[in-house]
Structure 1
Amino acid sequence: MTAHVRVLVVDDEPQLLRALRINLNARGFAVTTAATGAEALSAAARTNPQVVVLDLGLPDIDGLTVLEGLRGWTNVPVIVLSARSDAADKVAALDAGADDYVTKPFGMEEFLARLRAAVRRGSVLADTPEVPVVDAGAFVVDLGAKSVTRDGAAVHLTPTEWGILEILVRHEGKLVGQKEILQSVWGPSYGTQTNYLRVYLASLRRKLEDDPAHPKHLLTEAGMGYRFVRA
């Protein structure tokens, strides 16, 4: 699965860059590295990576600014690396469009598992399974084409946002538990990361609901999970 997957690794620690390059190359990834935010944005435009690993503490541009720059033109999965373990920092990164957040120092095997999960999420948009078009009134979800339109205009979702929306739409009318969504979209080790869901549901509502503060379609069942209804 990893053969020829293009990874951009952005970090200003030479030893970490070297370790990641060696480990990823050994597993068949095609690795590009950058040590500054400016290099990262240039390399991303040049190589069109399939996943980005981004340190927040860069010497020239703040990592969140780099992330926002990427999100201006690509929905590539982004894994944020940071020495900051505060929950507010994680939420800020997720809110800016990160798909995952890894706190330094980290174990290489866990990191590689998260990277593989991010690659899978990114490839989801390229898959073409069967199935229906779901018209919720305010927006239309085409499960076969992996696309969403609102008032006839395409809505750009990140792979993670799509993953959450898809599982809810496929279980239309049914409560989908927080743990089920987390493990389906992020992987088996994410069952307790409920702050991820809050951030992404808020983003989906901003993009899809007429009144995000009073959603009609993407409903929260407090403490349990979420439900999609056509309303």
Structure 2
Amino acid sequence: MVVEDEQSLADVVATYLEREGFEVTICGDGLQAVTLARQIDPDVIVLDLGLPGLDGVEVCRQVRTHSDAYIVMLTARTEEVDTLIGLSVGSDDYMTKPFSPRELTARIQAMMRRPRTGPAAGAPAEVPAGESLREFGDLAIDVQGREVTVAGTPVALTRTEFDILATLARDPGVVFSRPQLITAVWGPNWVGDDHLVDVHIGHLRRKLGDEASRGRYVRTVRGVGYRMGIGQ
């Protein structure tokens, strides 16, 4: 689903995606986008930040209550705060206008290649069925079932947040750099700012009730990257 009120841009994006075999629905209004997302249950949503009716941030927030579609946020503003706000409500990636529709299409294709039950591209080998559950103190991660609980309470993560956590959990003794996590979660052909990882790690910690200073579940290794904590 392409949610963009600039019709000419929406048409160009749709054309590129249709050439690659995607079925595309175009929508130019935020309120309509929320309704359509529930009706058609898209795999990917290309979502403009500045929309009539509801802005892209609010659309993303509402869609996330019922959908785990990949969301790519488009913004005409370059201030970092816009990017962070967009990601904080569950978008998986962002692009700043003007952008290359070819690059957008490539990023979406990379997203769609990400496995939903096995390891992400470049990640460690898949966890055997009998070892699917990983526990770190009160944190329990069912890698194959894609479920996370803290002290028995389910935690709702986006696909990207889960993929990052699962990548760290599959090899908890390894420190992953940003580029390694990008390769593992977004794929080797992803192009963009690898500080995107930091934003998702921040939201992941918030949802798990973790703190960067403690690193019970996700630890920062300064100058290197991230690794799993031991739950204490």
TM-score calculated relative to the size of structure 2: 0.87
Q: Secondary structure at the match of 1:81?
A: strand
Is 1:149 aligned with 2:140?
no
C-alpha displacement of 1:152: 2.1
C-alpha displacement of 1:119: 2.3
- Output the CA distance in 2 between the equivalents of 1:78 and 1:224: 28
Out of 100, 108, 113, the residue aligned to residue 115 of structure 1 is 108
- Output the CA distance in 2 between the equivalents of 1:36 and 1:192: 28
Say if 1:168 and 1:176, in contact at 8 Å, map to a contact too. yes
Is 1:214 aligned with 2:208?
no
Is 1:74 aligned with 2:67?
yes
Q: Secondary structure at the match of 1:61?
A: coil
Say if 1:179 and 1:191, in contact at 8 Å, map to a contact too. no
Is 1:203 aligned with 2:203?
yes
Question: Quick one: which amino acid aligns to residue 177 of structure 2?
Answer: G
Q: Secondary structure at the match of 1:30?
A: coil
Say if 1:180 and 1:191, in contact at 8 Å, map to a contact too. no
Q: Deviations over 1:122-150 (max 9, x none)?
A: xx335596442111121111122222122
Say if 2:210 and 2:217, in contact at 8 Å, map to a contact too. no
- Output the CA distance in 2 between the equivalents of 1:159 and 1:69: 16
**Alignment partner, residue 81 of structure 2:** 88
Q: Deviations over 1:12-51 (max 9, x none)?
A: 0111111122222221111111010011111101100011
**Alignment partner, residue 168 of structure 1:** 168
C-alpha displacement of 1:172: 0.8
Question: Quick one: which amino acid aligns to residue 203 of structure 1?
Answer: H
Quick one: structure 1 residues 25 and 196, their matched pair in 2 at CA, closer, same or farther if it must change by over 3 Å?
A: same
Out of 36, 39, 50, the residue aligned to residue 29 of structure 2 is 36
- The gaps in structure 1 that reach 5 residues or longer are 1-7
Q: Deviations over 1:164-219 (max 9, x none)?
A: 11110112122111210022212335577343122211211122245565221210
Question: Quick one: which amino acid aligns to residue 77 of structure 1?
Answer: Y
Q: 1:96-107 counterparts in 2 under 5 A?
A: 96-107=89-100
Quick one: structure 1 residues 71 and 212, their matched pair in 2 at CA, closer, same or farther if it must change by over 3 Å?
A: farther
Question: Quick one: which amino acid aligns to residue 17 of structure 2?
Answer: L
Q: Secondary structure at the match of 1:23?
A: helix
**Alignment partner, residue 52 of structure 1:** 45
Question: Quick one: which amino acid aligns to residue 64 of structure 2?
Answer: R
Q: 1:173-192 counterparts in 2 under 5 A?
A: 173-188=173-188, 190=190
- Output the CA distance in 2 between the equivalents of 1:66 and 1:98: 11
Quick one: structure 1 residues 11 and 191, their matched pair in 2 at CA, closer, same or farther if it must change by over 3 Å?
A: closer
- The gaps in structure 2 that reach 5 residues or longer are 120-125
- Output the CA distance in 1 between the equivalents of 2:221 and 2:92: 23
Query: Number of residue pairs matched?
Result: 222
Is 1:125 aligned with 2:80?
no
Percent identity between the aligned chains?
34
TM-score calculated relative to the size of structure 1: 0.88
4+ runs deviating over 4 angstroms: 126-129, 189-192, 210-213
